[in-house]
Amino acid sequence: MSWDDPHLQVDYAPEGAERPGEYPYTRGVSDEPKVWIMGQYAGFGTAKESNARFRALLDAGVTGFSVAMDLPSQMGIDSDDPRAAGEVGRVGVAIDSLADIEVLMDGIPLEELSQVRTTANSIGYLWAALFVALAEKRGVHPDEFGMFIQNDVLKEFIARGTQIFPPQPSLRLAVDCIEHVARETPSWVPLAMSGYHIRESGASATQEIAFTFANARAYLDECVRRGVDVDQVAPTLFTFLAITTDVLPEVAKFRAARRVWARLMRERYGAKDPRSEQLRIFAFTAGSTLTAQQPMNNVVRASVEATVAALAGVQTLHVSAYDEALGVPTEAAATLALRTQQVVAFETGLTTTLDPLAGSYAVEQLTDELEASIWALMDDIEECGGALEAIGSGRFARDLSEAAYRLAQRVESGEKTVVGVNRFPAPTEPLEVFAIDPATEESQAASVRRLRQTRDQAAVEAALERLRTDVQAGRSVMPATIEAVKAYATLGEVVAVLKEEFGSWQPSAEF
């Protein structure tokens, strides 16, 4: 057999070794080599502008994409609200209602998409409702296309900070979405257990996984409490993790995470469906490793991180653009990030061998050490009351602050090298930076005002009143939310009703 033979064996492990696709899935959830779903995180300005970018990425070969939403949309604040001033369309696309989703997805066939993702955690129930409504308007069953809703609102209390309501009602809304999707559109992903922003905030690899799975237990426990079988929910889930340039520990982290999840599902939840034990991973190259100094170095960093993802056997991947430390990526930078994925996937041969670093002394030891440390931290969190208690007491915030401080000290002292920043500095050449049209904000605000003048106001008010009644009765918000967005209620109007019932998040003195 020559090295050019396309039928090379896909696993070189000796007889008796753990196999990919077998419990505890250290070596991967499948016994067949597969190329991951390629997606790029994009969105800016208005829905029309973002639609053009998405079409260009689809033409370039993406098989799914993530919709970056601006901060007002993520917080359930309409674009014409005074609180949105200066932020509309800045870090993502402005989405105020179903009308914007219709424009955003214009000309994009839903049934041909493997994944549409968003990181809008605090409005996951709204994002699901918007796409259910869009599908119905197009005559497509929602289960005929792939939807990936991050919906991990508990993570927002730990890192990133776009939470809207207090923790307990936030958990309720997230689980309403998870339960609805598990029963009505089981091909969708209703929760991406997110460690990415936890890691981006300075956490260690152990904290990234342990905090993420502690939050996951809160969601699963609430599902089980409601009478939903764990095997109805767990197979639909993904986890969303960061990839840094620390190659071997990062490969080991993904392997250890799969092993811990498999044991958690089998031993602590009694899962019977093997799919419940198989941790599907969406990996995102670390934005925190990108530098504004010498930004072209970021191309190399992203390439290394994409290679880590290939070595670790992830299911979905996003590669950050080299100019993201400076602003929204240009189309050229976003396309190069996609090409980075494609080169790693189709030119390196890494996707033809399952878990190629299995058996490495270093990787196997690091995997074992990480597994042990993740379990120890998860057990400690549970003994202290679980994720909700760790959020309320400020424990997660304290632990993350301390980890971030230690990391910053290592960079500042030069113990951790950042090329072009604390080692090998040099003048940075001017770089083209993507600019948002300053007219975007007023244009979007005017669009919302026109919508309110032309829609059926009575239908909106009836749907919002149903939402209020359902919340007060303890029923799921999903049916009423779907009805409201189909009537073109805005995100801000839906969130306003829920705020009246749930109140707003007020941090304790610990924060």
pLDDT one-digit tens code per residue, 296-305: 999 999 999 9
Please state, for a pLDDT cut of 90, what percent of the chain lies above it.
78
Containing H/E element for 376?
helix 361-383
Does residue 453 belong to any structural domain of this protein?
Answer: yes
Q: What angle do CA 421, 423, 424 make, to 5 degrees?
A: 95
Residues 404 and 490 in one domain: no
Does residue 12 belong to any structural domain of this protein?
Answer: no
Residues 274 and 128 in one domain: yes
Does residue 11 belong to any structural domain of this protein?
Answer: no
What does the pLDDT read at residue 41?
65
Residues 384 and 468 in one domain: no
Residues 234 and 285 in one domain: yes
pLDDT tops 70 at residue 2: no
Weakest mean pLDDT among 35-49, 280-294, 446-460 = 35-49
pLDDT band (50, 70, 90) for residue 42 = low
What does the pLDDT read at residue 322?
94
Token output for 288 = 């925190």
Is 152 within 8 Å of 120 (Cβ atoms)? no
Final residue before a domain boundary, out of 372, 393, 413: 413
Residues 407 and 465 in one domain: no
State the average pLDDT over residues 434-455. 90
Weakest mean pLDDT among 39-43, 290-294, 321-325, 356-360 = 39-43
Does residue 113 belong to any structural domain of this protein?
Answer: yes
Does residue 19 belong to any structural domain of this protein?
Answer: no
Kindly give the residue spans of alpha helices, DSSP state H, lying in 98-244: 98-104, 124-138, 153-158, 167-184, 196-200, 205-225, 230-233
pLDDT band (50, 70, 90) for residue 55 = confident
pLDDT band (50, 70, 90) for residue 508 = low
Question: What is the domain count for the chain?
Answer: 2
pLDDT tops 60 at residue 5: no
Final residue before a domain boundary, out of 395, 413, 431: 413
What does the pLDDT read at residue 438?
79
State the average pLDDT over residues 137-150. 90
More confident site: 247 or 328: 247
What does the pLDDT read at residue 511?
47
pLDDT tops 70 at residue 188: yes
- φ, ψ of residue 196 in degrees (nearest 5): -60, -55
Does residue 199 belong to any structural domain of this protein?
Answer: yes
pLDDT one-digit tens code per residue, 103-139: 999 988 887 776 787 878 999 999 999 999 999 999 9
State the average pLDDT over residues 72-77. 95
CATH number at residue 108: 3.20.20.240
**Coil, helix or strand for 443?**
helix
Rounded Cα distance between 213 and 169, Å, is 20
Residues 310 and 252 in one domain: yes
Domain that holds residue 187: 37-413
Residues 88 and 201 in one domain: yes
Final residue before a domain boundary, out of 393, 413, 433: 413
Residues 396 and 446 in one domain: no
Does residue 23 belong to any structural domain of this protein?
Answer: no
pLDDT one-digit tens code per residue, 403-424: 999 999 999 999 999 999 999 9
Q: Residue 242: CB partners within 8 Å, gap ≥ 6?
A: 195, 196, 199, 200, 208, 283, 284, 285, 286, 288
Residues 113 and 240 in one domain: yes
State the average pLDDT over residues 71-94. 93
pLDDT tops 50 at residue 189: yes
Rounded Cα distance between 386 and 220, Å, is 12
Rounded Cα distance between 192 and 45, Å, is 25
Residues 352 and 473 in one domain: no
Rounded Cα distance between 416 and 312, Å, is 24
Does residue 247 belong to any structural domain of this protein?
Answer: yes
pLDDT one-digit tens code per residue, 191-211: 999 999 999 999 999 999 999
pLDDT one-digit tens code per residue, 386-408: 999 999 999 999 999 999 999 99
State the average pLDDT over residues 258-271. 98
Closest CA to 361 of 441, 248, 458: 248
Rounded Cα distance between 38 and 319, Å, is 9
